[in-house]
Amino acid sequence: MRLSRYFLPVLKETPAEAQIVSHRYMLRAGMIKQASAGIYTWLPLGFKVLKNIENIVHEEQARAGHIPMLMPTIQSAELWKESGRYDDYGQEMLRITDRHDRDMLYGPTNEEQITDVFRSNVSSYKDLPLTLYQVQWKFRDEIRPRFGVMRGREFFMKDGYNFDLTKEDALHAYNRHLVSYLRTYERMGLQAIPMRADGGPIGGDYTHEFLVLAETGESEVFYDSQITDLKFGDREIDYDNVEQCQAVLEEFTSRYARTDETHDEAIFNEVPEERRRSARGIEVGQIFYFGTKYSEAMGATVQGPDGAKVPVHMGSHGIGVSRLLGAIIEASHDDKGIIWPEGVTPFHCGIVNLKQGDAEADEACEAIYKSLTALGLEPLYDDRNERAGGKFATMDLIGLPWRITVGPRGLKNGVVELTSRRTGESEELPPEQAIARIA
Ligand code: ATP
Ligand code: MG
Ligand code: MG
Ligand code: MG
């Protein structure tokens, strides 16, 4: 992409309404624009990162054997009356009446809708196990939308639902989700710690929230510092292997790690004092096993091997896709701007031409642009007639992992400058070597 043809409405001033750094940088970098309280337009740069995050979610769900689909955002209230949640959900649910006076709502989550799909189409245990998911917009009329996309009213969420014959099978599905989420967050450059959470209105003992530690997080968390040494890494995993998935769950959840809702001072005090931590965290996902709560209420049954009809065991599993942009920036930035992890960056490399219009510099930039593109990388070429200082400031703000700076002086010696956004270190190299370093 050439910056002269792109749409990157960078702000010079720091927007006064933004209280935390991720919100400030997302506004300043021209990633989002507030449309109304808690509702955002995703400008091209923000949209690109949002899609990168969504793609990682899809890839990891596919690896786990989960099946993508798409449900509507507007739902009929009927299903929610069946489950009993229409009255329970309260004011966070945006209720809508259509022209025929039918009660509708903008979905805050989809347990009812997916259970309806299931009961209409599945009647035998032979079709199980089944895990369906979507990445779709949700609406919750949050009492205090704030921190930009972190607590929006409209937000993008991956929500997945497993259907199993037995509790044991459903717990394997739970473990599969835990493993796939660990991989998902790590690919985004994040450490998200599974913490024992509260079932809330959904209920049940089996639920973990995934938290990214950050001072600006809204959750209070307590954990054994050993947990931060755990890494999933690139180990091989067979998602059908029950013992293997169970072992990962045990490895990642055996140490003390709880949100304030489940925190237990007495148990926490058994952790050696020097390892006890209390901190703040951002909830970027949650997994649940809730048994037959919805299947019983809504008649989602299958015929078991013995011919008897039984309600299916279910769980639901969510990732806050749009919140993740904020969480990643909170975890990875400096005073100049965002520092994107390689896995989610909107462009792989910035090219800064120090002297636009200089035949040699222009030609060298074009050649670098072509080489990077041919390697399957996406460069952002700042080909505007601007001062070098302004170009550098923009590149630092939008946080691409690499910058190649091209100017007549370097070219005389056959070199360009390669700068790492994360370390800030620069090196002079022949263009081919700079390209090889990035690829
Ligand atoms: P929170 O405790 O932050 O209100 P939640 O527990 O109500 O979140 P879930 O129902 O578990 O949310 O939804 C799954 C994920 O969706 C959350 O882990 C979070 O990452 C994301 N999410 C929830 N509410 C919002 C919101 N208002 N804005 C952005 N993302 C959200
Ligand atoms: Mg909530
Ligand atoms: Mg929560
Ligand atoms: Mg939650």
| Res. 364: pLDDT tops 80 | yes
Residue nearest (by alpha carbon) to ligand 1 atom 16: 320
Ligand 1 contacts CB of residue 220 (under 6 A): no
Residue among 323, 324, 328, 330 whose CB has most ligand 1 atoms within 8 A, to mutate? 323
Residue nearest (by alpha carbon) to ligand 1 atom 27: 151
| Tokens of residue 117, six digits | 């799909």
Angle CA(265)–CA(285)–CA(316) in degrees, nearest 5? 105
Ligand 1 contacts CB of residue 286 (under 6 A): yes
| Res. 46: pLDDT tops 70 | yes
Residue for token digits 């929230």? 209
CA 70 to ligand 4 centroid distance, Å: 21
Of residues 173, 208, 198, 163, the one with CA closest to residue 319: 208
Pairing of strands 192-196, 301-303: unpaired
Ligand 1 contacts CB of residue 148 (under 6 A): no
Atom of ligand 1 nearest to the CA of 284: 20
Ligand 1 contacts CB of residue 157 (under 6 A): yes
Instruction: Tell me what ipTM this predicted complex has.
Output: 0.99
Residue nearest (by alpha carbon) to ligand 1 atom 24: 151
The whole-number pLDDT of residue 202 equals 58
Q: Give the model confidence (pLDDT) of 286-319 as tens digits.
A: 999 999 999 999 999 999 999 999 999 999 999 9
CB burial string 411-420: b at 16+ within 10 A, e below? beeebbbbbe
Q: Which residues contact 214 (CB under 8 A, 6 or more apart)?
A: 280, 281, 282, 327, 330, 331
Residue among 157, 206, 284 whose CB has most ligand 1 atoms within 8 A, to mutate? 157
For a pLDDT cut of 70, what percent of the chain falls above it? 99
Q: Could you tell me the pLDDT band of residue 17, with boundaries at 50, 70 and 90?
A: confident
**Residue 291 near residue 313, CB atoms below 8 Å:** yes
Ligand 1 contacts CB of residue 318 (under 6 A): yes
Q: Could you tell me the pLDDT band of residue 397, with boundaries at 50, 70 and 90?
A: very high
CA 198 to ligand 4 centroid distance, Å: 9
The whole-number pLDDT of residue 51 equals 98
Q: Could you tell me the pLDDT band of residue 199, with boundaries at 50, 70 and 90?
A: confident
CA 102 to ligand 2 centroid distance, Å: 26
Q: Give the model confidence (pLDDT) of 60-111 as tens digits.
A: 999 999 999 999 999 999 999 999 999 999 999 999 999 999 999 999 999 9
Ligand 1 contacts CB of residue 284 (under 6 A): yes
CA 261 to ligand 2 centroid distance, Å: 13
Atom of ligand 1 nearest to the CA of 324: 20
Long-range pairs for 2-6 at CB < 8 Å and ≥24 separation?
A: 2/381, 2/383, 3/380, 3/381, 3/382, 3/383, 3/384, 3/394, 4/383, 4/384, 6/44, 6/380
The whole-number pLDDT of residue 299 equals 95
For a pLDDT cut of 90, what percent of the chain falls above it? 96
Residue nearest (by alpha carbon) to ligand 1 atom 15: 320
Ligand 1 contacts CB of residue 141 (under 6 A): no
Ligand 1 contacts CB of residue 151 (under 6 A): yes
Mean pLDDT of all residues belonging to the chain: 96
Length of the chain: 439
Atom of ligand 1 nearest to the CA of 210: 18
CA 176 to ligand 4 centroid distance, Å: 18
Atom of ligand 1 nearest to the CA of 218: 3
Q: Write the burial class of residue 73 (CB in 10 Å: 0-12 exposed, 13-18 middle, 19+ buried).
A: middle
CA 365 to ligand 3 centroid distance, Å: 47
| Res. 205: pLDDT tops 80 | no
Q: Give the model confidence (pLDDT) of 247-286 as tens digits.
A: 999 999 999 999 999 999 999 999 999 999 999 999 999 9
| Res. 194: pLDDT tops 90 | yes
The whole-number pLDDT of residue 204 equals 60
Other residues' Cβ atoms within 10 Å of the Cβ of residue 238: 9
| CA separation for the pair 131, 272 (Å, rounded) | 40
pTM greater than 0.90 (yes/no): yes
Ligand 1 contacts CB of residue 317 (under 6 A): no
Residue nearest (by alpha carbon) to ligand 1 atom 18: 285
Ligand 1 contacts CB of residue 111 (under 6 A): no
